[in-house]
Structure 1
Amino acid sequence: MMQIEDYPLSRVPPDRRVSFLSVAVVHMGMLTALDQFMLGAVLGNGMSIASALMAILAGSVIFGAITFGLGYAGMKEGLSGSLLARWCGFGRVGSILIGLIVAISLLGWFGVQNAIFARSLNFALGGGPGFALSATLSGLLLTLLVAFGFKALRFTARIAVPLFVGLVALIAWQTLSGQQVPPLLNVADSVTPLTISAAVTLVVGGAIVASLMTPDLTRYSRSTRHVAGTVLLTIIAGEFVINGLAIMISHTLHTADVVTIMSQATGGIGLLLVVFSTLRINDLNLYSSALGVINAVEGLCGKKLRYRSTTLAIGVLGTLLSVLGILDRFVDFLTLLGVVFPPILGIMLVDYFLLRSQRAVLESSRRQGTLPGDAETPTCGWPAIAATLAGSTVGLLCEWGVPTLNALVSACLLYALQKQFQNRVRPAAFTGHQRDP
């Protein structure tokens, strides 16, 4: 059985690779959850269904290309995403910073999911406690359960995820049966209409963290076909099934609020499953965020933080984000993810497949089943970090085109130009990199 916590600082040996379904099922789980349903509800309430599906298609192409490239590199090298970044432009310090960015993004997801939990709880109790108190209680309770290892919670929440998928199918059948096709082309009556370019960025932002986590799973894959199949199934299940159904349901019910959709369609049972689904997702968000912060702090300053105290601190911060209204900024949050992560992933792909600055080192160590030594590992990839910052800035500020593509393309071009200039100014022997002949 695949254990993703194995081999945290080493390659996965060929004899420990697993079957296609073992990897694909876990990978699909990252996009067949409540957050994709929330994204679909936003799209369905902000534009016509035809336009929303076009945005999903365009976003899925971008997500699929990036995810397959990173997934292939993870399979080829047997390395996780954070380790791979060390030899894909960012160096040791840069890869630690990437881990910290992932941890912060998961903290944001914790706040968003906890807010959904709190709204469901407050709605079920008739609005008595109020949102702020509900969010505080639910966030702190889940933080304590994760910090002190409440195994029953994880077992219950694992069951809730497939039940949630079944619930989405049931709501879709109840809501969409008898609907006419022509209204699908109408623009949704929303106070926050979305453009195609903005929607594409939201689609990418809603799934892009999964791209960076893909090598963590595909390092256990046995072939390129397995990686391609895994990515394709995840896109079909997460983007076109869960997301697509949410778009049509939201468009039909004229609301983007998940709690309202669940309560109208299925009543208390739907709200209960939403609560359990958020427990499972936030269990992983809090756990992974805590580990990311611990690893980043240790790598940057050598200080070893304790897991429980770190988890409690992050849980309190995530709860505070819920109370302060991060759910009301859900679109802004996804937009930010959609312009911050694509530059990081694009630079890794450019370095690994085109510039190949560390491929000789990786291939040599792969034949020996080890990692490149400290002397062969760049300390910090400043060109990659600078290109990431510049690309993200372009994505946020440029009003022309698709923000996520603007960020991706500009970062990749700037990184490639910096590397070419660097190699011309000083000999490769002094750059801290080794190039292929």
Structure 2
Amino acid sequence: MGRILTAFIGYRGLAALSFIAVPLVVIFSIWGIVSAVNYSGSWHNLLTFHPTGDPMTIFAGITIVVGNAALGAVVFPDVTRYAKGAVSGGIGASVGYFLGGVFCLVAGAAMAIAANVPDIGSTPNIPAAMSKLGLGFLAFFIIVFAQWTTNDNNLYTGSLGLRNVVNIPKKALVAIMGVIGIIIALLGVQNMFVPFLTFLGLYVPPIAGVMIADHWITAPVIKKKQYQFGAGTTYSKLNFVAILSVIIGGFTASKITFGIGPINSTVLAFLIYIIFTFIFTKLNLHYEIGEVTEESSGF
């Protein structure tokens, strides 16, 4: 319920929580790595660990990793729009997301390897690993904060995106989507976590491909208009060419047996969107339906 509350408050709620949670997560990550090394006996034992179970190709692993991060990258504009400047906001978000994300992943992997406890479905059981390493309740409390900061951002950006499609107040969307998320979690979604990440790794990156094409190619070159955004800007409510490009890009990439799936799907969607937009524009065919005016994102 905490994630619903901070997302309901808006950007100020997200910022206030992050000022508390991020330092705690850094402390916990260092604590977890030290505990994992001590439990294993040495760094060498951790680095020479041989995993069990079915092997995974490097490309499948890349797709899963990208699936875990792709959605966050796509919605970055919603989180960084209040930065003091484009450069500082971009650098701060990228460095924080990359360095912080990698550090936390390394800490989680170290703890999971050292404890070697059974997974929950296809998801590593980090709380059980923490318990076996003797980290105690304080570490569990910090993990709750870490999940809180992730999920409230997801809920915040999700409600902003959905608000452009359905005529429901953003705060109501936050409450509805938050409750749906809780229900999905109670139904055991962790058992399908890896397949879900694979799906995201193929179908979320194409969204970025469409966004890049729309910003740099279709708007200024094909449509001959200045790209605008921000509160008060009017957009089309549904862009069927964009939706179709994402679906075709993701589906085609899932059938290609070479290269890296997320990169393939992004490039395909980028090219497909440009080609379709050019054809529809030249034929004077409408592919955008309805209008929506962007509101303030601070809630």
Per the normalisation by structure 2, the TM-score is 0.73
* Deviation at residue 360 of structure 1 after TM alignment: 4.7
Distance 1:379 1:154, change over 3 A: closer
The answer to whether the 8 Å contact 1:388/1:411 transfers is yes
Quick one: distance in 1 between partners of 2:6 and 2:58? Answer: 39
Structure 2 residues without counterparts, runs of 5 or longer: 118-123, 288-299
* Deviation at residue 390 of structure 1 after TM alignment: 0.5
Quick one: distance in 1 between partners of 2:263 and 2:55? Answer: 21
* Deviation at residue 180 of structure 1 after TM alignment: 4.5
* Deviation at residue 346 of structure 1 after TM alignment: 0.7
Residue of structure 2 in register with 1:197 after alignment: 59
Q: Are 1:212 and 2:74 counterparts?
A: yes
* Deviation at residue 278 of structure 1 after TM alignment: 3.1
* Deviation at residue 170 of structure 1 after TM alignment: 0.8
Quick one: distance in 2 between partners of 1:222 and 1:213? Answer: 18
The answer to whether the 8 Å contact 1:154/1:280 transfers is no
Q: Are 1:320 and 2:187 counterparts?
A: no
Q: Are 1:347 and 2:203 counterparts?
A: no
The answer to whether the 8 Å contact 1:362/1:371 transfers is no
Residue of structure 2 in register with 1:175 after alignment: 36
Of 357, 380, 391 in structure 1, the residue corresponding to residue 249 of structure 2 is 391
The answer to whether the 8 Å contact 1:294/1:307 transfers is no
* Deviation at residue 204 of structure 1 after TM alignment: 1.4
Matches within 5 A, 1:52-201: 142=2, 159-177=20-38, 178-181=41-44, 184=47, 187-189=50-52, 191-201=53-63
Q: Which amino acid in the other structure matches residue 131 of structure 2? A: S
* Deviation at residue 311 of structure 1 after TM alignment: 4.2
Q: Which amino acid in the other structure matches residue 211 of structure 1? A: A
Q: Which amino acid in the other structure matches residue 313 of structure 1? A: I
Deviations 1:9-54 (A, max 9, x none): xxxxxxxxxxxxxxxxxxxxxxxxxxxxxxxxxxxxxxxxxxxxxx
Quick one: distance in 2 between partners of 1:207 and 1:169? Answer: 22
* Deviation at residue 411 of structure 1 after TM alignment: 1.7
The answer to whether the 8 Å contact 2:164/2:237 transfers is no
Quick one: distance in 1 between partners of 2:248 and 2:272? Answer: 8
Partner SS state of residue 387, structure 1: helix
Identity %: 24
* Deviation at residue 192 of structure 1 after TM alignment: 4.8
Q: Are 1:264 and 2:132 counterparts?
A: yes
Quick one: distance in 2 between partners of 1:195 and 1:408? Answer: 20
Residue of structure 1 in register with 2:102 after alignment: 240
Distance 1:290 1:148, change over 3 A: closer
Residue of structure 2 in register with 1:27 after alignment: none
- More helix per residue: 1
Of 243, 254, 275 in structure 1, the residue corresponding to residue 116 of structure 2 is 254
Deviations 1:334-387 (A, max 9, x none): 222211211111122123234434785226x79xx9977x6xx66653322211
Distance 1:315 1:188, change over 3 A: same
Quick one: distance in 2 between partners of 1:422 and 1:292? Answer: 25
* Deviation at residue 312 of structure 1 after TM alignment: 4.2
Residue of structure 1 in register with 2:199 after alignment: 336
Aligned residues: 274
Distance 1:222 1:155, change over 3 A: closer
Higher relative contact order structure (alpha carbons within 8 Å, sequence separation ≥ 6):
1
Residue of structure 2 in register with 1:64 after alignment: none
Quick one: distance in 1 between partners of 2:204 and 2:166? Answer: 21
The Cα RMSD (Å) is: 3.8
Distance 1:383 1:293, change over 3 A: closer
The answer to whether the 8 Å contact 1:291/1:307 transfers is no
Partner SS state of residue 211, structure 1: helix
Partner SS state of residue 204, structure 2: helix
Q: Which amino acid in the other structure matches residue 202 of structure 2? A: V
The answer to whether the 8 Å contact 1:143/1:312 transfers is no
Residue of structure 2 in register with 1:297 after alignment: 166
Quick one: distance in 1 between partners of 2:90 and 2:5? Answer: 37
Per the normalisation by structure 1, the TM-score is 0.52
The answer to whether the 8 Å contact 1:157/1:277 transfers is no
Partner SS state of residue 225, structure 2: helix
Distance 1:223 1:412, change over 3 A: closer
Deviations 1:287-343 (A, max 9, x none): 544454444211xxxxx45834x4443333222211211112111222222112111
Of 224, 230, 248 in structure 1, the residue corresponding to residue 92 of structure 2 is 230
- More strand per residue: 2
Structure 1 residues without counterparts, runs of 5 or longer: 1-140, 299-303
Distance 1:396 1:326, change over 3 A: farther
